[in-house]
Amino acid sequence: MTSASSTEKPRVVATIGVGAKPVGVAVDVHDQVFVTNSGADTLSVINSATNTVNATLNVGVRPESVATDPQFGVYVANGGNFTVSALDKFHTIVATIVVEGPPGPPPPDMLRVAVDHLMGRAYVANRALHRVSIISISSNPPVLFPDFTEVEGPLEVVIDPVSHRVFVTQPDHNEISVIDTTTQQVINSIPVGLHPTGIAIDPQKQRVYVANSGFKTVSVIDMTTLGVAEIDVGPSPTGVAVDSHGAVYLTHPDGLVRVIDPASASVIATIPVGSQPQGLAFEPHSNRVYVANRGDGTVSAIDLAGG
């Protein structure tokens, strides 16, 4: 298995119709790709072996993010009604967890979720209430902890599987907060670029990649030193994912995915996808990156070896 390089030509090998306004993507260990359709209040389940939709599931209002756990199931953050839908391995909703929000219809980009399997927890970034909440996913049914961490305007959230620290983007403050999950306190605030949105971790290289959607850069954070470097990538990077070899994939509103080689810290490939691509995820068994195209209701499957 190889990542994109100067000699390979990663390309779209399938365009899969899902629901209206797909935005979030996650994969599991069973060759399944989960896509939140924020305009349809549904979750699409794609078989990565066949690139076909196996199921369309009703979840909460305006699902914006999805995370999977190999043991405890699938978790969908519904930004339209501030809930998390917990699904078991048979895709049955076993709990709807209310994480609270202000009165009135919320604007987009309110709720995100990430899972820490070894700790048996899901972390929910609630932009409206300026907090990161915790769900015990090892409980049956899953339950919300009463404690939470105060973070100003959190959006995307990821977890380092080694240290179990939580990294949260704060688009309105141009920084990243780092949460110590032992104390549930913010232990570092790291300045990055303008309006950081997407975030992904390379645990092997101990790097965090942050898409600065207000400019044309990606911030690269060294998790050991917390030093920050910048890479020019093109206008308004939104979502970010990392493959098993450390190559970095970015969505841009111009309908392109750009690929960064971490060794040269430069863009080595540009891949046309669908309209207004947002979330994306790397699926290791098929060696593909799946991209949610919000503008046309599709998912682009990019084969990293060119198909």
Tens-digit pLDDT string for the chain (307 aa): 334 444 468 999 999 999 999 999 999 999 999 999 999 999 999 999 999 999 999 999 999 999 999 999 999 999 999 999 999 999 999 999 999 999 888 999 999 999 999 999 999 999 999 999 999 999 999 999 999 999 999 999 999 999 999 999 999 999 999 999 999 999 999 999 999 999 999 999 999 999 999 999 999 999 999 999 999 999 999 999 999 999 999 999 999 999 999 999 999 999 999 999 999 999 999 999 999 999 999 999 999 987 6
The percent of the chain in helix, strand and coil, each rounded to the nearest 5, is: 0, 55, 45
Radius of gyration of the chain, Cα coordinates, nearest whole angstrom = 17
Q: What pLDDT is recorded for position 104?
A: 85
User: What are the distances in angstroms from CA 263 to CA 1, 75, 245, 247, 267?
Assistant: 18, 34, 11, 9, 11
User: What are the distances in angstroms from CA 50 to CA 15, 119, 301, 304?
Assistant: 12, 33, 11, 16
* Whole-number Å distance between alpha carbons of 52 and 49: 8
| Spatial CB neighbours of 76, under 8 Å, sequence gap ≥ 6 | 34, 36, 43, 59, 60, 63, 65, 66, 84, 85, 87, 113
Q: What pLDDT is recorded for position 34?
A: 98
Task: Read off the tokens for 89.
Answer: 């391995």
Q: How many residues comprise the chain? A: 307
Q: What pLDDT is recorded for position 305?
A: 87
58 close to 42: Cβ distance less than 8 angstroms:
yes
Please enumerate, as own/partner, the contacts of 88-94 that have beta carbons within 8 Å and a separation of 24 or more: 91/45, 91/55, 91/57, 93/57, 93/59, 94/141, 94/142
Q: What is the distance in angstroms between the CA of the first residue and the CA of the last residue of the chain?
A: 12
Phi-psi region of 51 (alpha: psi -120 to 50; beta: other; left: phi over 0): left
Task: Read off the tokens for 78.
Answer: 């519904």
Residue type, 284: P
191 close to 146: Cβ distance less than 8 angstroms:
no
* Whole-number Å distance between alpha carbons of 305 and 146: 46
Task: Read off the tokens for 184.
Answer: 């549930």
* Whole-number Å distance between alpha carbons of 6 and 37: 34
Q: What pLDDT is recorded for position 203?
A: 95
Phi-psi region of 34 (alpha: psi -120 to 50; beta: other; left: phi over 0): beta
